[in-house]
Amino acid sequence: MTAFAVWAPAATRVDVEIAGLAYPMRPAADAPASQGWWRADVDVPPGTDYAFRLDGGEPLADPRSPWQPSGPSGPSRTYDHSAFAWTDQGWRGAPLPGAVVYETHVGTFTPEGTLDAAIGRLDYLAGLGVTAVELMPLAAFPGEHGWGYDGICLWAVHDPYGGPDALKRFVDACHSRNLAVILDVVYNHVGPGNRLASFGPYFTSAHMTPWGPAVNLDQAGSDEVRSFVVGNALMWLRDYHIDALRLDAVHALEDHRAVHVLEELAVAADAFAASAGRSIALIAESDLNDPRLIAAREAGGYGLTAQWNDDFHHAVHSAITGERQGYYGDFGSLSAIAKTLTGAYFYNGTWSSFRGRTHGRPVDALKIPAYRFVCFVQDHDQVGNRAIGDRIAATLRAAPAASSASSASSALPAPGVDGGRAEGLLRVAAGLVLTAPFTPMLFMGEEWGADTPWQFFTDHTDPGLAAAVSEGRRSEFAAHGWGRAEIPDPQDKETFLRSKLDWTQQDGDPYRSLLSWYRSLIALRRARPELTDPRLDQLRADYDEQARWLLITRGPLRVAANLGTAPAKIPVTPAGASLTLLLASTPAINPEPGTIHLPPASFAVVSGDDGSLATRGGH
């Protein structure tokens, strides 16, 4: 017997339709909390297609459908979560402190673009040294390929990726290799073409968002909508053994109730973790620069585990590439990198020229550990939202710029630098991420300097929407000086195919040598506890803006980077301190007592484990 249930508070009649037969559902009005729910028990096996009809209308997919084999507009299919044979009974999760995250998009990670194909790359990821694999959204959306942020059936795994069993096989395989799985979920909107409003007040015009009426989190009927959101999160954690959820753009959640839905979600996740006996994490993407998101509930915060830190990305990216357009306008200096390394946020109540106002709130370095901030030099947004989806490796390896050979007094490197300098700067960027006190994240292919693009691609099945997206993308970047013909058409399948990783690049240089550098950095991070120490007050960052060098103190370790175009002589206190080279981006680096000599575009980690280097905090 299969129990069907749906929330449709405005309906006067609801049927579940199976094989052309309509089975009347009964209202469940025995208590106020259940008002609007309809239920029916029908003797059908798992794998049976069904749909709901409201007041005799058209068949609609179940808002909580576990399987959509024909896409969001097709019928739902019953699925037995208990039938899968898990082998991860001994898995207790992987706490975020000390983790190294690897962000992937299933459709472009492998040539096949499926979860089963991705399993074939897990041994590689384990060997690289990452500890968690982050999957971009998997909720079912129209068409074959897309980024996943316009999911419609939020409880179903996108079938072209392999459907529900494939995700379970992937998670099980990850756990067998001691890899945690993070899933990106979207609760700030639902993709165009969804039919949730036909069932109930899932949206409200009381708040408007870039996607239209907001998800209803604080108006009449919002109790059930919040239950839908929290229940969806728990479903991924419980039924698919997901270890952490990355919550997309939480600043777009319009919720003015006394208990924010994020706090409600955190409470529910903590309760589940306690009952399941494994660690669970909730990681927010937020543009607010508000540490209350990750502060403990006992301290008046929401109690989320961590959040992405775009400020760190902007500081490193602009310093490495020289870009100053848009939101990079306030960045580029080494002082910006130093500020984010010691305080997490660059904007901590300070002026933002891009926003035209002050922004952010300070992080209490004595109370909030750095692992609660996820740092990166590339992610899907920062690559894919560029006009042509160029990765930082492609940007730096572009045609040489005339100013790349300028003297040390040149304040900033120019985009498009000579080949040797480009490879050096890629190593510097990797070093800054993987020796930072935060939780580092790599974007798939970054570790070998993949220069294949990762572009904005869609497969909308609605012709009007498809045309609007293509035109909107070209118009957006035309306003910034790009030729319309230069902008890839998101609806062109070639845009999607160009975005697939080329794994054969690893077989030759410069890709192979950069991959070795990433492996060495991750291994050093694991070997030296100073590099995972999350105490921001114990980190010191010194720099010379003119010479373009940076020196970071991590206990007895010194992390040194030269972003300039001339050799740098970096003093280490106390004078004459004995230094041991732990890792260098080029063989030309040879420290001497009290001094680190760095060639242009180079990076090194040295140690004074004999006690000759004092441990100093501050900045």
Element (H, E) at 271: helix 261-276
Task: Tell me the HSE value of 71 on the side-chain side, using a 13 A CA sphere.
Answer: 11
Q: How many helices (H) and strands (E) does the chain have?
A: 15, 28
List 248, 255, 263, 381, catalytic entry? 248
427, 405, 414: which is closest to 565 by C-alpha? 405
Task: Answer for the pair 199, 36: CB distance below 8 angstroms, yes or no.
Answer: no
> 């990670």: which residue's tokens?
109
Q: Could you confirm whether 248 is annotated as catalytic?
A: yes
Residue 110's alpha-carbon distances to 104, 121, 137, in angstroms, are: 10, 8, 16
CB 519 within 8 Å of CB 129: yes
Q: Is 298 a catalytic residue?
A: no
Q: Phi and psi dihedrals of 212, rounded to 5?
A: 110, -155
Look up residue 144 and give its DSSP letter: S
DSSP string of 473-496?
HHHHHHTTT--GGGSPPTTSHHHH
Pairing verdict, β 37-42 and 2-7: antiparallel
Compute how many other C-beta atoms are within 10 angstroms of the C-beta atom of residue 269.
22
Angstrom distance (rounded) from CA 341 to CA 354: 21
Which of 62, 264, 285, 447 is catalytic? The answer is 285
Return contacts of 205-214, CB within 8 angstroms, 24+ apart.
206/254, 207/254, 209/252, 209/254, 210/252, 214/189, 214/252, 214/254
Q: CA–CA separation, 100 vs 424, rounded Å?
A: 22
Whole-number Cα distances in Å, 398 to 319, 392, 414:
17, 10, 11
Mention every residue, 6+ apart, whose C-beta is less than 8 A from residue 194: 72, 152
**Residues 6+ positions from 153 with CB-CB distance below 8 Å:** 61, 63, 65, 68, 72, 76, 139, 140
Collapse the DSSP code of 521 into the 3-class scheme (helix H, G, I; strand E, B; otherwise coil) and give the result.
helix
In 3D, which of 136, 149, 134 has the Cα closest to residue 243?
Answer: 134
Residues 280, 250, 133, 140: what is their CA dihedral angle, to the nearest 10 degrees?
A: 100
Point out the residues that are catalytic: 248, 285
